[in-house]
Amino acid sequence: MMPGRLKVSAIITFVLAVLFYLFFQISKHDPALSQVNAFAEDPYDAVGSFGVQLAVFTALLSLVRAFRPYHPKKALDGQKLLLLRGEYISCLSVAVTLVADVVAMIRYPFVWMGLAAGHMLAALMLGMALLTALVGWLIYRSARNIIVLSAQGVWTRAILISIMGILILALYPESWRQSVPGALFTALVGEVLFIVAVWALGIAISPSMEMPFEDFIDDLASVYRWLKARTGHLAVLYNMFEKMREVPFVRPVLSWLNPRKHAWNVCILIGLLMGFVLALAETMAGGGPQQIGRFAIVAAVFMSLEGAGVLLGYALLAKPLGLFRRDSGDKMSLGAHQKKK
């Protein structure tokens, strides 16, 4: 079982991620705030979009790892490190996005300065920044005896990457986003700058350490076993779910989707699905699809950008977060975990 202080830090990190999501949505869609939102255009909007996604995902991952059952005789050093690293990356996602937002507001002061809604937006940003700093400090206090800081060279790289990203955001040519190819490239620039900055700062704060760990599949399997033990009246459903892996056409699909064997297959599928969902949500917010052909183009754009972001994020952050460990055996299914009991 995780110590109480680590559970508390996981909860407050999740609360921060939820508040950040609300901040992003309100600043973008509120009738008054959207008119003074200097960071509503790419590349700043792309930074915010991926910032919200990564912050929520890593906060949820840390929450699961904080409260899932563990074997009473098993050392938790590796799990504690992964838990705290996920919390740090969640906080960094918020912080990096807020820095990009500040750059946009400094670059375009005429959009918001002198307006009541603009001052409200600036106050909300300041509140989010103070809350992020507070949560980061609380995580640091709970991690003092667990995480060792990186060498100076790693910090130098992280600082240089951060400065370069700020300069690119501050000087990015507006004319480049006027055409369709330019708009796509601008969004891609925003997501790349965000992911690389979070990776560099995350590695500097919490360097990778070689030690045994349980990955995300182990986390889900532990939660599944806990639910099955406490909801026995649904045993029929659990048995049906576990027997599905024995169906002839299901086994090759599960093998193809096994992230311990074929991680990139899962990443591509997740990226495409998330892009489609975001495109559908964006279209529905605008009153629903007027033309199937137009929606197909929008969906293709969202799926391409989201897929690229997921692939890059996985390439840089999968190992630090301990998402999936390499395994030559087919151990991904929950049914396999049940048979080992």
- pLDDT score at 286: 67
Residue 99 has pLDDT above 80, yes or no: yes
- Whether 278 contacts 300, CB under 8 Å: no
CA trace torsion 46, 52, 57, 59 (10° rounding) = 150
* pLDDT band, very low/low/confident/very high, at 145 (cuts 50, 70, 90): confident
Hey, where are the domains in the chain?
A: 1-210
Residue 98 has pLDDT above 60, yes or no: yes
Residue 314 has pLDDT above 90, yes or no: yes
Spatial distance between the Cα atoms of 332 and 252, rounded to a whole number of angstroms: 13
pTM: predicted TM-score of the whole model, two decimal places: 0.91
- pLDDT score at 339: 43
Kindly report, residue by residue over 57-71, the tens digit of the pLDDT.
999 999 999 999 998
The three-point CA angle 48-128-203 to 5° equals 65
* Rounded alpha-carbon distances, angstroms, from residue 57 to 86, 208, 313, 321, 331: 9, 20, 12, 11, 23
